[in-house]
Amino acid sequence: MSLGRNGVNLIITGVGGQGNVLAARLLASVALAEGYTVTVGDVYGLTQRGGSVASHVRWTEGKTLPPLVPQNSLDVLVAFEPLEALRILTQFGKEDTVAVVNDAPIMPIGVQAGRFTYPNLSDLWDALRSLTKQIRLVGATAVSQRLGDIQVLNMVMTGALLGSGFVTLKKDGFEKTIHSVVSRKYVDIDLLAFREGIQLVKGPS
Amino acid sequence: MEKGLKELKEEVLGTEICTGCGTCVSLCPNIISIEDRIAAIGDCRVASGRCYRYCPRTVPLPEFEDRLFGDVGYRGAVGPYLKYCMAQSTLSDKQASFQYGGVVTSLLLQALKEGLMNCAVVTRAVSNFPFPVTVFHPKGILSAGRSKFALSPTNKETNASVLNAGHRIGVVGLPCQSTGLKKRELMPGEDAHPEGKVTLNIGLFCTWAVSQKGWRSIVNQHVGKATIKKIDIPPPPANIMEINTIKKRIVIPLDEVKRHVRSACQVCLDMTAENADLSVGMVEGREKYNTIIVRTELGESLLESAVKSKYIKIAPLDDERWRHLNKASINKKKRAITEAEKRKGSLPYYERIIRVREKIEKEI
Amino acid sequence: MNSEKSELALLMGNEAIARGALEGGVSYCTGYPGNPSSEIIETMFSYGKDHDIKVEWAVNEMVALEAAAAFSFSGLRAMVTMKQNGINVCSDFLTTVCMNELKGGLLLVVCDDPGPLTSSNEEDSRHFAKIAQVPLFEPSTSQEAKDMAKWGLEFSEEMGVPCILRSVSRLSHGRGGVKLGPVPERRGQPSFDIKKPLVGLPFLVTIHHGTLLKKMKRIQEIFSQSSFNSYHGPQDPRFLIVATGLGVLQAREAVDILDLSDKVGILKVGTTWPLPTDVIKRYLKQAGEVLFVEEIDPFLEDHVKVIYAENGSELGEVKFFGKNTGDIGGSHGPGVGEMTTDIVLDALQRIFKIRKPEESSYKKNVQDIASKMLIPRELSFCHGCPHRASFFAIKAALELDGRKGFVVGDIGCYGLAAGATGYNQIKMLHCMGSGMGNVSGFSQLQSFGFDQPAVAVVGDSTFYHAGLPALVNAKFNQANALFVVLDNSITAMTGFQVNPASPYNGSGEPGSYIPAEAIAQAMGIQTTVLDPVEDIQKAIETVYRNLQEEGVKLIVFRRVCSTYETKESSSDQLIKAKVDPEKCIGEVCGCDRFCSKVLGCPGILYDEEKGKAYIREDACNGCSLCVQLCPRQAISLVERAVE
């Protein structure tokens, strides 16, 4: 996917605590190292309490962009949770948005308490398909559970993003950045998760 | 007719007619209680709830309307009965502490002995602050003697005790509590799990009860830290409450005590616990005796056994006293109805009891 | 980022500010945690390990600024950080200290929260620059944030006046590429000249105030030459956008999207106060139309109009578009909510009469889908959070009390108790510690016939920040007030910073622990301390009994924040709650799925098909609250099997 006149507008979304901030940082670092002008838009605090979160990652060849993606201008969506994918598309999606979406729902507290009902999953997949030009639904949570640590979900998804071909950043940059950004304790499992994520998408869809 | 916590809150719980009987407490975690305060903390969506069904102040299922009395329905001045008499426990004052005749204690001892029940929910008190307990031995029964003037939500302990499937429970309560138990017996509802059973329902005569908060202020003001030995309200025209501590006799104007009478008591039609198996009260002028009204076959059979076991001595109650009792009971009903008319509230309970006036007048 | 080479690093705005302070030779950094500013001090703590810098968390911004001034008056450089509410708290000292001449630089960094995203008010701190008459600058990128922080310290020292660096949430928390610079050697020996007292006596203030105003006039001239102000666009723009902060980037993007770059020029103002008059006059002269793009209030807009009013004849006719004219604003109107590229686009489209694209079928489709499927994702207390038990106990006690009592609170994780997760208990919520002051007042209403008990809740950090005077006031004025300190040993919402209720202070030093009850007891206030989770019935009863009593009463609900504890512990939590499906009765009368529906812990779910509750192992820390409340004792604590 070539950089448009206004660069790449990408949003990573999920539920607080799923690690979107680290994934955004990883992605942005790689883009920065490849020479692009990068901006990340984030909000901290108030997010670990089970709410919706989104990191906007924007890179361009030219001048610095403001942190937030304008409405209806989203090029690439990375969603750790399917309901949050819908939430972001509602505000930022457009006809040719492409998306990589994790298929494991996380129940909002309102659903657990019986105040709301989570949408029927197959209806949700249909909806997401109708709202994107291309979508890859991936079982990233299952992979993380298999690897024994749900916290590596963000790495699996970052790998899946790369595997999808929706961004033209280079794999080596990611691995190098994981080494420099992630604490030593987790580097190995994060790399493993990242590579599994790539394979997840490259396999039969 | 499906009603649950939502309707209970609209009609009784949290309003001024909630008697604090505790019949809705300990059925589920949505209703909680401390001392004589009861409140709902959750919004339960169960359409047909036991809390509504058992509450003495809600409308019963139509098929049971004619089997419930007191606040629920009218059948004569003192409700239905098989017989009535005067009675006295054969236990001496040294074995137990009695208010009057000690009859309740003896009935419970007999019930325990013959296996009608294997435990009892009774009210104990510390400094005359009452709280309900489940007891399993005669000693426990003996420790619960003497009248209490502040309200104890006895049925919250009944409900807790019933959760044990092996329990066969005898309960001693006020008229509202007896009514709650009778409703539970007649309309148990679909209980999710096997539960114990209430096998004996003894009601105490009651004109009013004070709130525990009110009682605390009376005790703080007049008694302080002294240990209370006995409390009594002598018959009119004395108009006092007498509190005997170890050292002295304290006299309090009854009007001062009555200021703390619970609002729900002022609209109560039931002086003699019309829904119990046996109702027990005082005998005017005969301090060491009780009046017993026997209402059910179960109650009758228990009394007979108690007499046979020589726990209780009975004697006929004279007509004069019986008439007096009837009159006092009717007067309580009339006072309640007058108060309900004065309150003009939108509570369905008021409308129901106001209609009882017609029935009373027809009879008289 | 720990590399000191001159290379491009991806830094958060706050990290960049910290880096700038480091490169600017700062010796002392302090502040109070406040979103979006907290990461500045956190980054400084990591710098403090390898450099000679003292870093600490203060209990409030006032004492922070006062302490920082000590460094500046002694010849060293200091930085104080805060969110917009913090500048309100330290404003008394700010408006006094400016009257005296600093020896070392003093940089006050205020991070406003337009929106707001995480605040209980929406406020533009730039007005304080005017009130205090001190310089203020606004960066537009992370790089500029670093540059301004460094320069700000130097400039403040050069001019002897405190300087304000004003950031906003999206800049503070956003990331961009930053070129790192060298870190200077250690500063000189600090000393306080006792021959030159710095005293705010009235007659001296008059003199110093005059000096300050003259100084500001000089600074205005300096700012007119500053490279932080710049112009990009056509040589002779008829239409000019004057923008500050992120507004510069948003304006640029909007102009690019609408292809107006040959018609519209953008004047970037970085040194917002004092306004660089000469620069502004120069561009006003050329332009016939001006649009202002800035965050929150029309601060720049108003003051540019003053310049225009004073120089009208020289500047020719200019038409202004801005918040005052209603030409630029979001869905809640001008001056409300954060500025975005979309708002600038909308303004330009209307002004230039560019037809907006019709509502696409995509938009219709997505809105249709959203109306059917998009359910909210509410915030909730974490699993095991002690606030859940605290508010459950307070709710139960107030219901039992029956006098329509209510809770007055303030900001922090427990602020969420205004919502479903805290049983909608908090009925009034304003600024830090306000609940306690409010309750002092509510209790004085009793003599006017008011009988609803009001309970104040306050966090541990907030108690030291603003609660102490309220506590003394209640005792001094004989209030009947119940205060509940929710002590979870940490300042959680802003990211787990330490405070006097924590076992260590920011530098990891023990011995700084000050329990709230020690203070209250010293004042002769009736105090109870208990763990709200361990015995929930006892907690309910404690609150209920306290509500019945007169006088000032303090309850400390003490239990460590469960998320903080999990983060800090080296081993996995093995004890978890588990539901026995045989005993669980689900939705029937007797429970109605109380644990998932009413208690609302995110670890408890309900299987509608099976009609049973179950607990997510990864979302349970074994606090036992649900165990205690289950009516059938169907939940018990079990040791999780280790694979």
Looking at this predicted complex, what is its ipTM? 0.94
What SS3 state is found at A141?
A: helix
Q: Does A83 touch chain C (CB under 8 A)?
A: yes
Cα first-last separation, chain B: 34
Q: Does A125 touch chain C (CB under 8 A)?
A: no
| Residue A120 CA to its chain's centroid (Å) | 22
Give tens-digit pLDDT for A140-181. 999 999 999 999 999 999 999 999 999 999 999 999 999 998
Q: By the 8 A CB rule, do B80 and B202 touch?
A: no
A15, closest residue in chain C (CA to CA): C377
CB contact under 8 A, A90 and C366: yes
What SS3 state is found at A163?
A: helix
Per the DSSP assignment, residues forming a β-bridge with B31 are B40
- φ/ψ of residue C101, rounded to 5: -85, 125
Q: Which chain C residues are within 8 Å of A127, Cβ to Cβ?
A: 369, 373
Provide DSSP, B160-225: HHHTSTT-EEEEEE-HHHHHHHHHHHH-----SS---EEEEEEEE--S--B-HHHHHHHHHHHTTT
Cα first-last separation, chain A: 19
What SS3 state is found at C621?
A: coil
- What is the model's pLDDT at position A6? 58
* A94 falls within a domain: yes
* A139 falls within a domain: yes
Name which residue leads in pLDDT, B120 or B238: B120
CATH code of the domain occupying C230-351: 3.40.50.920
Q: Does C244 touch chain A (CB under 8 A)?
A: no
Cα separation, C25 vs C9, in Å, equals 20
pLDDT band at B1 (very low <50, low <70, confident <90, very high): low
CB contact under 8 A, B41 and C548: no
Give tens-digit pLDDT for C168-220. 999 999 999 999 999 998 778 999 989 888 888 899 999 999 999 999 999 99
Cα separation, A31 vs A9, in Å, equals 12
Q: Does A43 touch chain C (CB under 8 A)?
A: yes
DSSP 8-state code for residue B29: T
Q: C458-476 b/e with 16+ CB inside 10 Å = b?
A: bbbbbbbbbbbebbebbbe
What SS3 state is found at A137?
A: strand
Report the candidate in B280, A112, B15 with the shortest Cα–Cα distance to residue C606.
A112
Every domain of chain C and the residues it spans? 8-186+197-223, 230-351, 386-568, 575-639
- Domain B5-58+329-363, classified CATH 1.10.3470, yes or no: no
CATH code of the domain occupying C8-186+197-223: 3.40.50.970
Give tens-digit pLDDT for C545-601. 999 999 999 999 999 999 998 888 867 778 899 999 999 999 999 999 999 999 999
The domain made up of C575-639 has a fold known as Alpha-Beta Plaits (3.30.70)
Q: By the 8 A CB rule, do A44 and C495 touch?
A: yes
CB contact under 8 A, B41 and C396: yes
pTM higher than 0.90: yes
Q: How many CB atoms lie within 10 A of CB A4?
A: 11
Write a three-state SS string for C162-204.
Answer: CEEEEEEHHHHHCEEEEECCCCCCCCCCCCCCCCCCCCCCHHH
pLDDT of B139 > 50? The answer is yes
CA geometry: angle C232, C237, C240, nearest 5 deg: 75
C251, closest residue in chain A (CA to CA): A66
- What is the model's pLDDT at position B362? 81
Q: Does A173 touch chain C (CB under 8 A)?
A: no
Among C399, C541, C594, the residue with its CB nearest the CB of B40 is: C399
Q: Which chain C residues are within 8 Å of B46, Cβ to Cβ?
A: 587-589, 592
Q: By the 8 A CB rule, do A11 and A78 touch?
A: yes
B52, closest residue in chain C (CA to CA): C589
Cα separation, B228 vs B149, in Å, equals 13
Q: Where are the alpha helices (DSSP H) in B4-95?
A: 5-11, 50-54
Among A51, A68, A89, the residue with its CB nearest the CB of C340 is: A68
Q: Which chain B residues are within 8 Å of C631, Cβ to Cβ?
A: 28-29
Total structural domains within chain A? 1
- Mean pLDDT, rounded, for A99-108: 96
Q: Does A196 touch chain C (CB under 8 A)?
A: no
Q: How many CB atoms lie within 10 A of CB C319?
A: 12
Task: Count Cβ–Cβ pairs < 8 Å, chain A vs chain C.
Answer: 187
- What is the model's pLDDT at position A2? 37
Give tens-digit pLDDT for C6-23. 479 999 999 999 999 999
Q: In what order do the strands lie in the sheet with B119-126?
A: B129-135, B119-126, B168-173, B197-204, B278-282, B290-294, B83-89, B312-315
- What is the model's pLDDT at position C70? 97
Q: Does C592 touch chain A (CB under 8 A)?
A: no
Q: By the 8 A CB rule, do B303 and B107 touch?
A: yes
C374, closest residue in chain A (CA to CA): A87
Query: B44, B55, B263: which to substitute to probe chain C, counting the most C Cβ within 10 Å?
Result: B44
- What is the model's pLDDT at position A43? 67
Radius of gyration of chain C (CA): 28
Query: C377, C411, C567, C643: which to substitute to probe chain A, counting the most A Cβ within 10 Å?
Result: C377
Give tens-digit pLDDT for B38-95. 999 988 989 999 999 999 999 888 888 889 999 988 999 999 999 999 999 998 766 6
pLDDT of C221 > 90? The answer is yes
What domain range includes position A182? 8-202
Residue C565, both tokens? 């504890």
Length of chain B: 364
A33, closest residue in chain C (CA to CA): C8
pLDDT band at B287 (very low <50, low <70, confident <90, very high): confident
CB contact under 8 A, C375 and A119: yes
Q: Which chain B residues are within 8 Å of C585, Cβ to Cβ?
A: 192-193
Q: By the 8 A CB rule, do A66 and C250 touch?
A: yes
Radius of gyration of chain A (CA): 16
Chain C residues contacting B, CB < 8 Å?
392, 395-396, 399-402, 540-541, 544, 548, 585, 587-592, 594, 597-598, 629-632
What SS3 state is found at C567?
A: helix
Per the DSSP assignment, residues forming a β-bridge with C553 are C482, C526
CB contact under 8 A, C246 and A67: yes
Cα separation, A127 vs A134, in Å, equals 12
Q: Which chain C residues are within 8 Å of A124, Cβ to Cβ?
A: 373
Q: How far is B342 from chain C (nearest CA, A)?
A: 23
Report the candidate in C262, C247, C281, C256 with the shortest Cα–Cα distance to residue C126.
C247
Q: How many CB atoms lie within 10 A of CB A144?
A: 24
* A165 falls within a domain: yes
Query: B8, B9, B41: which to substitute to probe chain C, counting the most C Cβ within 10 Å?
Result: B41
- What is the model's pLDDT at position C4? 41
pLDDT of C350 > 90? The answer is yes
Q: Where are the alpha helices (DSSP H) in chain B?
A: 5-11, 50-54, 103-114, 138-142, 154-162, 175-186, 212-222, 254-258, 297-308, 319-343, 348-354, 356-363
Q: Does A180 touch chain C (CB under 8 A)?
A: no
Q: How confident is the prediction for chain A on average, in pLDDT?
A: 91
Cα separation, C119 vs C417, in Å, equals 15
Q: How far is B261 from chain C (nearest CA, A)?
A: 17
Chain B residues contacting C, CB < 8 Å?
4, 14, 27-30, 32-34, 37-46, 48-51, 189-193, 213
Q: How many CB atoms lie within 10 A of CB B140?
A: 17
Among B30, B33, B191, the residue with its CB nearest the CB of C592 is: B30
- What is the model's pLDDT at position C2? 40
Give tens-digit pLDDT for C380-423. 999 999 999 999 999 999 999 999 999 999 999 999 999 999 99
Q: Which chain B residues are within 8 Å of C395, Cβ to Cβ?
A: 41
Q: By the 8 A CB rule, do A36 and A60 touch?
A: yes
Report the candidate in C494, C563, C376 with the shortest Cα–Cα distance to residue C119.
C494
Q: How many CB atoms lie within 10 A of CB C209?
A: 13
Q: By the 8 A CB rule, do A83 and A105 touch?
A: yes
Cα separation, C420 vs C416, in Å, equals 8
Q: Does A108 touch chain C (CB under 8 A)?
A: yes
Q: By the 8 A CB rule, do C484 and C451 touch?
A: no
Which top CATH class is C386-568? alpha beta
Cα separation, C407 vs C419, in Å, equals 12
Task: Count Cβ–Cβ pairs < 8 Å, chain B vs chain C.
Answer: 72
Query: Helix A184-202 and helix A171-181: axis angle, to 10°?
Result: 160
Instruction: Please tell me which chains touch C, using 3 or more CB pairs under 8 Å as the contact test.
Output: A, B
- What is the model's pLDDT at position B192? 57
Give tens-digit pLDDT for B211-236. 999 999 999 999 988 888 888 888 88
Residue A86, both tokens? 């819908």
Report the candidate in C269, C266, C288 with the shortest Cα–Cα distance to residue C279.
C269
Cα separation, B153 vs B21, in Å, equals 4
H helix or E strand, kind and range, residue C310: helix C299-315
The CATH number that applies at residue A67 is 3.40.920.10
Q: Where are the alpha helices (DSSP H) in B210-318?
A: 212-222, 254-258, 297-308
Q: Which chain B residues are within 8 Å of C400, Cβ to Cβ?
A: 32-34, 37-39
Q: Does A124 touch chain C (CB under 8 A)?
A: yes
Residue C266: partners with Cβ closer than 8 Å, 6 or more residues away: C231, C232, C233, C240, C241, C243, C248, C251, C252, C255
What SS3 state is found at B84?
A: strand
CB contact under 8 A, B42 and C590: no
Residue C449 burial (C-beta neighbours within 10 Å; 0-12, 13-18, 19+): exposed
- What is the model's pLDDT at position C332? 94
Residue B89, both tokens? 């426990």
Among B43, B49, B193, the residue with its CB nearest the CB of C585 is: B193
- Mean pLDDT, rounded, for C260-283: 96
Q: Does A185 touch chain C (CB under 8 A)?
A: no
Give tens-digit pLDDT for A48-79. 688 999 999 999 998 899 999 999 999 999 99
Report the candidate in C258, C251, C208 with the shortest Cα–Cα distance to residue C232.
C251
Residue C40, both tokens? 């500045």
